[in-house]
């Protein structure tokens, strides 16, 4: 039931095409994703820079966190025993390995006991050719034979003026490329 609601919330947020101000990755439209992390990031980084609302940060993890909280999914913004926050994509893996209401599935071509489905959180690697793991994430809102339709925040796109932008959006993603793994919300 929570995963179904998560699909609905994530789809609505993605279809709204909320945009960040660039450069800087901040702005009124996306502040609802950023704001829960500002105090935490200030503490973790021993700074006060995130009090400035014109300071942003990569926010795909914050988008997923916001959607989960809207669905009353029990998450802590700082994973136990890890000095980071869920704004960082890799922290979702560590969170899923520690909490009973989440389960991590490393990507493999075929699973014996797991089929990715709507409401699963998908974590990507190397999406922009940077050969890094845990680079982006979103929420699967539809599964077809060929692709996952994923609700995402901090999606890179090209504006009409030719400049790069970041927004919420629905993206078709290959079922076999650039996937690090999945986080399932256990109901």
Residue 64 above 90 pLDDT? yes
For position 131, what pLDDT does the model report?
A: 67
The whole-chain average pLDDT of the chain stands at 93
174: closest CA among 131, 132, 125? 125
Instruction: List the beta strands (DSSP E) in the chain.
Output: 102-106, 121-124, 136-143, 147-158, 164-174, 179-185
Q: How many percent of the chain have pLDDT more than 70?
A: 98
Q: Residue 130: its pLDDT value, please?
A: 65
Distance CA 179, CA 161 (A): 31
Average pLDDT over residues 33-40: 98
Give the chain's domains with CATH numbers. Answer: 2-185 (3.90.1720)
Is pTM beyond 0.85 here?
A: yes
Q: Is the pLDDT of residue 178 over 80?
A: yes
121 strand-pairing partners:
139, 183
Write out pLDDT tens, residues 110-148. Answer: 777 899 999 999 999 977 666 677 889 999 999 999 999
Residue 88: pLDDT over 70: yes
How many other CB atoms sit within 10 Å of the CB of residue 96?
A: 22
Q: Does the pLDDT of residue 177 top 90, yes or no?
A: no
User: Please, what is the angle between helix 89-98 and helix 60-70, to 10°?
Assistant: 40
pLDDT score for 81: 86
Angle of CA points 134, 135, 140, to nearest 5°: 80
User: Which structure tokens are listed for 75?
Assistant: 């998450």
């Amino acid at each position: 039931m929570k995963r179904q609601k998560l699909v609905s919330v994530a789809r609505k947020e993605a279809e709204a095409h909320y945009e960040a101000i660039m450069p800087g990755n901040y702005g009124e439209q996306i502040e609802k994703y950023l704001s829960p992390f500002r105090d935490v990031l200030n503490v973790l980084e021993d700074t006060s820079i995130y009090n400035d609302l014109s300071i942003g940060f990569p926010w795909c993890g914050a988008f997923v966190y916001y959607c989960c909280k809207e669905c009353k999914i029990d998450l802590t913004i700082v994973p136990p025993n890890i000095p980071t926050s869920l704004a960082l994509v890799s922290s979702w893996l560590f969170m899923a390995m520690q909490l009973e209401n989440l389960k991590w599935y490393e990507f493999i071509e075929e699973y014996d006991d797991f089929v990715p489905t709507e409401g699963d959180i998908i974590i990507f690697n190397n999406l922009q050719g940077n050969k890094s793991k845990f680079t982006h994430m979103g929420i699967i809102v539809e599964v077809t034979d060929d692709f996952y339709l994923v609700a995402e925040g901090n999606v890179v796109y090209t504006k009409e003026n030719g400049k790069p932008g970041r927004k919420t959006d629905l993206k078709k993603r290959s079922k076999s490329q650039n996937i690090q793994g999945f986080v399932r919300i256990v109901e």
